[in-house]
Chains A and B, each alone.
Chain A
Amino acid sequence: MPLPLLGAGLGAAALGALTIGRYPISLRDIIAFLAAAAHLSALPQARYDLLHNIIIEIRLPRILAAALVGAALSASGAAYQSVFRNPLVSPGLLGVLGGASFGAALALILGLGGLAAQGSAFLFGIAAVGLGVGVANLFGAASMITLVLGGMISGAFFTAALSILKYAADPYDQLPAIVYWLMGSLASVDLHQVLSIAPPILAGIGALVALGRIMDALAMGDDEARSLGVPVTLARYAIIAAATLISALCVSMAGMIGWVGLFVPHFARLLVGPRNAALLPAAALLGAIFLIGADGLARSAMRSEIPIGIITELLGIPAFLLVLRRARKSWA
């Protein structure tokens, strides 16, 4: 069972990530800091404060945020792929990214600060999925195909609305602020924010894991699932709701981070097989490890920070190609 192994890997990745960054801090510094924090030894007050500042207030929140976002995007990606029985599906399928981007841009144009932009991104991300599902319901029962089309329509609508906002924005002041936000970053996340966003994200991932067996039934087809006694439509909505909630939280905190939700589930499937009860936690752990690594690279490779979306895409593409090579047999 590779799950405990992945858990250990996540712990190691998080600890390793604590040691990297632009401010030179050695492993010895970190050990000295931990010893001082546990009152085992003493450090000069100013030095302790600086180390606390960098390790606990700057690096730790980013690592926790990267782990949460990576886990949430991967778990919701895996859930979507199994509900829609389609390996090309990612968490943005039902329009959550378009809606969240629009919400953030709207807050920025209205001159509201960062926190309002996050709240607005979250609300509009949920609203966009609501619109997609609503459109799907207009055309009879929310089958998979109408849901996909509804998501496309909702996504296109909010993308167009975002373009209107960008057009109306002051090009010298507001537009750069919008572009900056949309690039996505974990840099401005603080500990308080991470701790307040962690419970809903963990609850969402937990709900998806709990729904794993129902997902397995859904993956066999609606009729088969019904014959097993699964309330198909209700189950599908519950899964979509949980996946949307956590991906909207992620986008509102970190902006657009692509590819993770698409390729990490494939990687996990390679490791633990297609059973969702094992696949979902494996995907969440792998996604967390991957994003901690990507963020570590983003914040330490160059003097300027590299937008994390670029790294996930650049690293994700070769990883995805490898997975496809290995997985081809099982699709044929």
Chain B
Amino acid sequence: MKLRRSVLALLTLLILPLPMPKAEARDIVDMTGRSVTIPDKVGKIYSASYPLTLLFYAFAPDLLAAVNLPIGEEERRFFPTILADLPAIGGAPGHGRSVNPEEVVALHPDFILAWVDPFGDTGATERQWAKSGLPIVYVRLNKLADYPAALRFLGDLLGRQSRGEELATYIEQVLARVNKVVRAVPPEQKLSVFYAESPDGLATECDNSFHLEAIVLAGGQNIHHCVQGAHMGMEKISLEEIILARPSLILALNQHFKDKLADMPQWRNVEAVAKNRVYVAPHLPINWLDRPPTFMRVLGVQWLANLFYPELYPLDIRAETKKVYRLFLGDDLSDADVDRILH
């Protein structure tokens, strides 16, 4: 009898609607058109995609609950100090360190942000996060031209409209300015460019690859014509093919290739090498061109447009560098800093 009563009491307890201190929620539509319910007041978010997380370094570092990858010693001083205290817990699987969903739940973010990976499967990402019970909001961020819309979307989502607008406007202005100049260049006068990604210089990208978007936007004509088939890129090309394609300029992803070039006399008949037109992309604290693909391309595009067409696109690169680092990262660069960034 006693047992039955306690069972009854337990059942009643279970049926009773528990008074839950529930925050006000609202429905939003994310950038893939999915409807998502998120809390009205957002405290912290977790970004599962590194390029998106890096955008938050500039847009709203205080809203991040964690970062994906540890920030290097050399890079740290360029980023907002608040980031130094955040744990590095990894990101979406397939890009290096995979995050443990428990780790995310333990940080109590209000929701998860992820980019629409051009080679990924949003359905799979969604299923992966379904177990955590956290809503997931997708942001389209593949091309630099997607950034203004993404920044305005995030501004509305997180109540940071003016910051979003400020960055979006700058990116739009730059793209419009560069586009106008590049459109005026006749196709036959476009500069042919070879993009060297490995120390031996023999890894490059297909002309439609997102990895070299900045080069295309700045009006460069990539010499390697093919279709990007995988996320990684780094297509192998033979030196004979490069000599044959006669690039006017070589862009190297990092310093290794340029350093090694002195020991590689077999490159001397490559037109750009013969003319000493080999340039290395600045990489502090984020590469201006790619790996990872980020908002820094907004500066990369201007640097390249000026490099490719100095008469059509005059630019004080030092002043523009200071401006972008100030606007996006809040840095006051000294002249020595600018020297270091530009090598």
Q: Is the CB of B235 within 8 A of A304?
A: yes
Q: Is the CB of B268 within 8 A of A187?
A: no
A-side contacts of B240, CB under 8 Å: 21-23, 54, 58-59, 299
The one of B50, B200, B226, B243 in contact with A23, judged by C-beta atoms closer than 8 angstroms, is: B243
* Interface residues on chain A, size class: 35 or more
In Å, the complex CA distance between A237 and B97 comes to 41
- Among A30-38, A127-135, A163-171, the one that faces the other chain is A163-171
In Å, the complex CA distance between A307 and B202 comes to 12
- Among A6-14, A70-78, A177-185, A286-294, the one that faces the other chain is A177-185
- Among B173-181, B257-265, B302-310, the one that faces the other chain is B257-265
Contact residues of B between 268 and 314, Cβ < 8 Å to A: 268-269, 287, 291-292
B-side contacts of A21, CB under 8 Å: 238, 240
The one of A170, A172, A185, A190 in contact with B236, judged by C-beta atoms closer than 8 angstroms, is: A185
Min CB distance A182 to B, Å, is 12
Q: Is the CB of B260 within 8 A of A113?
A: yes
CB 8 Å contact bits of B90-126 with A (1 = contact, 0 = none): 0000011100000000000000000000000000000
A-side contacts of B69, CB under 8 Å: 170-171
The one of A113, A169, A176, A190 in contact with B232, judged by C-beta atoms closer than 8 angstroms, is: A176
Q: Is A175 on the interface with B (CB-CB < 8 A)?
A: yes
Q: Is B155 on the interface with A (CB-CB < 8 A)?
A: no
A-side contacts of B96, CB under 8 Å: 167, 169-172, 175
CB 8 Å contact bits of B215-255 with A (1 = contact, 0 = none): 00000000011100000111111111101100000000010
In Å, the complex CA distance between A163 and B124 comes to 24
Q: Is A53 on the interface with B (CB-CB < 8 A)?
A: yes
A-side contacts of B259, CB under 8 Å: 113
CB 8 Å contact bits of A52-65 with B (1 = contact, 0 = none): 01100111000000
Q: Is the CB of A172 within 8 A of B292?
A: yes
Given the known inter-chain contacts A113-B260, A170-B96, please indicate yes or no for A23 contacting B244, CB distance below 8 A. yes
Min CB distance A151 to B, Å, is 30
The one of A58, A299, A303 in contact with B266, judged by C-beta atoms closer than 8 angstroms, is: A58
Q: Is the CB of A114 within 8 A of B260?
A: yes
In Å, the complex CA distance between A49 and B200 comes to 22
The one of B238, B260, B265, B268 in contact with A22, judged by C-beta atoms closer than 8 angstroms, is: B238
Given contacts A54-B240, A176-B232, A177-B198, 8 further A-B contacts (CB under 8 A): A23-B240, A53-B268, A114-B199, A114-B260, A172-B95, A173-B291, A305-B236, A305-B238
Interface residues of A (CB under 8 A from B): 21-24, 49-50, 53-54, 57-59, 113-114, 167-173, 175-177, 179-180, 183, 185, 187-188, 190, 299, 303-307
Provide 25 A-B residue pairs closer than 8 Å at the C-beta atoms, listed in order of the A residue.
Answer: A22-B241, A22-B244, A49-B268, A114-B256, A168-B97, A171-B96, A171-B97, A175-B96, A176-B197, A179-B232, A179-B234, A180-B198, A180-B234, A185-B202, A185-B236, A187-B239, A188-B201, A188-B202, A190-B266, A303-B241, A304-B224, A304-B226, A304-B236, A305-B237, A305-B238
